Amino acid sequence: MISLHRSCFLNNSGISGSSSLFSYKLNKLPPASVKATALGPNSDTNASVLIENNNAFKEITQDDTSFAADVDINLTVAGGDREVYYDDAATEDQLVTPWSVSVASGYSLLRDPHHNKGLAFTEKERDAHYLRGLLPPTVISQDLQVKKMMYSIRKYKVPLQKYMAMMDLQETNERLFYKLLIDNVEELLPVVYTPTVGEACQKYGSIFRRPQGLFISLKEKGKIDEVLRNWPQKDIQVIVVTDGERILGLGDLGCQGMGIPIGKLSLYTALGGVCPSACLPVTIDVGTNNEQLLNDEFYIGLRRRRATGLEYAELMDEFMTAVKQNYGEKVLIQFEDFANHNAFDLLAKYGTTHLVFNDDIQGTASVVLAGLVAALKVVGGTLADHRFLFLGAGEAGTGIAELIALEISKQTNMPLEEARKKISLVDSKGLIVKSRIDSLQHFKKPWAHDHEPIKKLVDAVNGTKPTVLIGTSGVGRTFTKEVVEAMAALNDRPIIFSLSNPTSQSECTAEEAYTWSKGRAIFASGSPFDPVEYEGRVFVPGQANNASIFPGFGLGLIMSGAIRVHDDMLLAASEALAAQVTQENFDKGLIYPPFKNIRQISANIAANVAAKAYELGLATRQPRPKDLVKYAESCMYNPAYRSYR
């Protein structure tokens, strides 16, 4: 079977200006050299596709396609060598053709989310693509469609209803979905991502309508390569994968964790400009230990207890191997919401063989470090001058702690072991100390310092005297009034980061932090909080949201052709984000820049990350662009409608 569809293309020398570049899906065919010719509906000549395969030629002819173009490309189906992520090879003023299984026209075009424009189809396009009578007679602009959609979404009072409306739009008109999200990012980010996405995952079975992404379960063991080939897009650059065991702070949601990869990749496109057709959400379904889900008649996943040990490891290894075989060395695999015992092992195992990134360990660390670097401009001193106390010693807490220690070591030439001594962690059993080392998980052992055992958080605050308190516990309201007042007693400007998601799991609210510290706290949270008025002053809480970092970070890896992730790239991303905080932001109490400028922020992060990749010799796209920021901007997906022939 041969099928043709519009795709994204970037060659080694930059963005191609040709409008005749297409992706050819050769399902279950070996590598081939392809030549294609497509001609218009009024032409006397039929469209043809010629496949050269092992010196045997087969011609496939299709009648009544929609325009003329000649294409010569070399395609490696199995290896995924093509470097594709920019959405439109054509420039904005060139006409393009909406390729699907065949040239999409009429009824099928209106139901193709990649090319549907709804009432924005022009009179000429309605004639050319057999749309007469299938649409009301009016023609409206994309901007008016955005206005209408925002009017409709704001009518909903329940956040989950807004989420479902956005997902429906994504499945019917992709460009309008991203235009809407980009233009209203501050309002819609909490709808398509945290905190609403958490509720969506909890109720995913009952709200499930159309399948999105790939579901790879234990039933597919031994067939994962075939499953990946079932995905219609072949030029994948970013995969976000979860096994659903630790979704936000909500625990094991099994197969219903798919909302997280879908949400993350929506942000890769909207905030980082990565082409949506180059993004693949994946859920690895190995069962669930959530009894409520196992007994739920609407649950969509495997009804069995979670696989562990060799059974789990073999499935993940088959998946990772198949991804590289299908999409090549440079596909970014982002691990998302794996439980601690798997997250660290997977990152360690595949970090040397694949381009992998764990957002919970590394992305959270990078965004928190950026906030701390920015906060130093308010409180003064260097990172090495401060002491840090964490509530929570899982993948987020230890990941942040390690990146802080790395930055301190880099700035001061202090040995990493010494830098770690400035950081203390509290877990469910109390302060992590040397006397507990034999019973600690391996990722906690670097944080076992010489100190007497302490059980309660408030005692740990008074005992270690931190200047910075960071919550990654996943347990709500653990930064009590007593704890916040203890931090305020020790510091003129206590730095308090309450990072657990969703909002219900936040260690304290913005209002509590500002009120209990008498307006002196520098506060940031994982989920959004409204501005707080205290004694006549308005405080705007910062949001330490990974969405500030990972879209730009991923774009930087893609545009440089990086083959591995290095810790120095994470530090480069943190420094780039911190540099975007203006004095105007500081005056409002912000230590993160607002999301309204996020695409420009992402371009700067991408440039910094790409520069570090070139510096470390990990970039494969040569030659290096002269202006990496402008290059990043040029690579970003633009959701504006295209004009069809």
Domains (ranges, CATH) in the chain? Answer: 103-140 (no CATH), 195-358 (3.40.50.10380), 362-544 (3.40.50.720), 548-635 (3.40.50.10380)
Residue 18 has pLDDT above 90, yes or no: no
State pLDDT tens for residues 80-91: 333 333 344 556
Residue 33 has pLDDT above 90, yes or no: no
Least confident of 100-109, 224-233, 491-500, 530-539: 100-109
Residue 274 has pLDDT above 70, yes or no: yes
- The answer to whether 527 and 499 are in contact (CB under 8 A) is no
Q: What is the pLDDT of residue 103?
A: 59
Q: Measuring CA to CA, which residue among 497, 502, 513 is closest to residue 591?
A: 497
- The position carrying tokens 């909406």 is 98
- The answer to whether 261 and 279 are in contact (CB under 8 A) is no
CA 610/CA 588 separation, integer angstroms: 32
- The answer to whether 114 and 277 are in contact (CB under 8 A) is yes
336 marked as part of a ligand binding site: yes
CA 589/CA 540 separation, integer angstroms: 6
- Structure confidence at residue 16 as a pLDDT band (50, 70, 90): very low
Residue 49 has pLDDT above 50, yes or no: no
Q: What is the pLDDT of residue 90?
A: 54
Q: Which distant-in-sequence residues (6+ apart) come within 8 Å of 322 by Cβ? A: 224, 225, 227, 228
Element (H, E) at 587: helix 583-587
- The answer to whether 98 and 106 are in contact (CB under 8 A) is no
- The answer to whether 333 and 356 are in contact (CB under 8 A) is yes
Q: What is the pLDDT of residue 98?
A: 67
Cis peptide before 41 (omega within 30 of 0): no
- The answer to whether 588 and 381 are in contact (CB under 8 A) is no
- The answer to whether 571 and 407 are in contact (CB under 8 A) is yes
246 marked as part of a ligand binding site: yes
| 264 in catalytic set | yes
Q: Measuring CA to CA, which residue among 112, 358, 77 is closest to residue 239?
A: 358
Q: Measuring CA to CA, which residue among 284, 282, 259, 245 is closest to residue 207?
A: 259
CA 280/CA 78 separation, integer angstroms: 17
Residue 333 has pLDDT above 80, yes or no: yes
Looking at the chain, the whole-number percentage of residues with pLDDT higher than 70 is 85
Q: Where are the alpha helices (DSSP H) in 421-549?
A: 457-464, 481-490, 510-516
Looking at per-residue pLDDT, the higher value among 11 and 576 belongs to 576
Cis peptide before 195 (omega within 30 of 0): yes
State pLDDT tens for residues 430-457: 999 999 999 999 999 999 999 999 999 9
- Say how many Å lie between the first and final Cα of the chain, rounded: 26
CA 235/CA 8 separation, integer angstroms: 8
Q: What is the pLDDT of residue 14?
A: 38
Q: What is the pLDDT of residue 211?
A: 84
Question: Could you count the other beta carbons within 10 Å of the beta carbon of residue 139?
Answer: 15
Query: 3-class DSSP state for residue 531?
Result: coil
CA 360/CA 526 separation, integer angstroms: 12
Residue 512 has pLDDT above 70, yes or no: yes
Q: What are the b/e assignments for 91-104, b being 16+ CB within 10 Å?
A: eeeeebbbbbebbb
> Rounded to the nearest 5 degrees, what angle is found at the Cα of 108, between the Cα atoms of 105 and 111?
125
Q: Which of 24, 86, 163, 193 is catalytic?
A: 193
As given in the structure block, the two tokens for residue 373 are 């670097």
CA 619/CA 600 separation, integer angstroms: 22
Phi, psi dihedral angles at 241 (to 5 degrees) = -125, 140
Pairing of strands 2-6, 22-26: antiparallel
- Mean pLDDT across the stretch 101-125? 87
- The answer to whether 456 and 479 are in contact (CB under 8 A) is no
Q: Which of 264, 324, 422, 444 is catalytic?
A: 264
Residue 481 has pLDDT above 50, yes or no: yes
Q: Cα separations (Å) of 409 from 66, 349, 415, 421?
A: 61, 25, 6, 11
Angle between the 340-350 and 309-327 helix axes, to the nearest 10 degrees? 40
Least confident of 332-341, 405-414, 586-595: 586-595
Residue 534 has pLDDT above 70, yes or no: yes
| 58 in catalytic set | no
Residue 35 has pLDDT above 50, yes or no: no
337 marked as part of a ligand binding site: yes
Please state, rounded to an integer, the average pLDDT across all residues of the chain.
86
Cα 7 → chain centroid: 21
Q: What is the pLDDT of residue 83?
A: 38
- Structure confidence at residue 249 as a pLDDT band (50, 70, 90): confident
Handedness of CA 281, 287, 289, 291 (dihedral sign): positive
Q: Where are the alpha helices (DSSP H) in 14-158?
A: 106-110, 123-128, 142-155
- Mean pLDDT across the stretch 198-224? 93
Cα 99 → chain centroid: 27
295 marked as part of a ligand binding site: no
- The answer to whether 330 and 355 are in contact (CB under 8 A) is yes
What is the SS3 assignment for 622-634? CCCCCCHHHHHHH
CA 631/CA 623 separation, integer angstroms: 12
CA 87/CA 114 separation, integer angstroms: 11
- Mean pLDDT across the stretch 567-571? 96
Element (H, E) at 200: helix 196-202
Pairing of strands 468-471, 495-498: parallel
53 marked as part of a ligand binding site: no
As given in the structure block, the two tokens for residue 385 are 């001058």
Please tell me what DSSP assigns to residue 214.
E
- Mean pLDDT across the stretch 110-138? 95
Looking at per-residue pLDDT, the higher value among 570 and 46 belongs to 570
482 marked as part of a ligand binding site: no
Least confident of 63-72, 444-453, 558-567: 63-72
The number of residues making up the chain comes to: 645
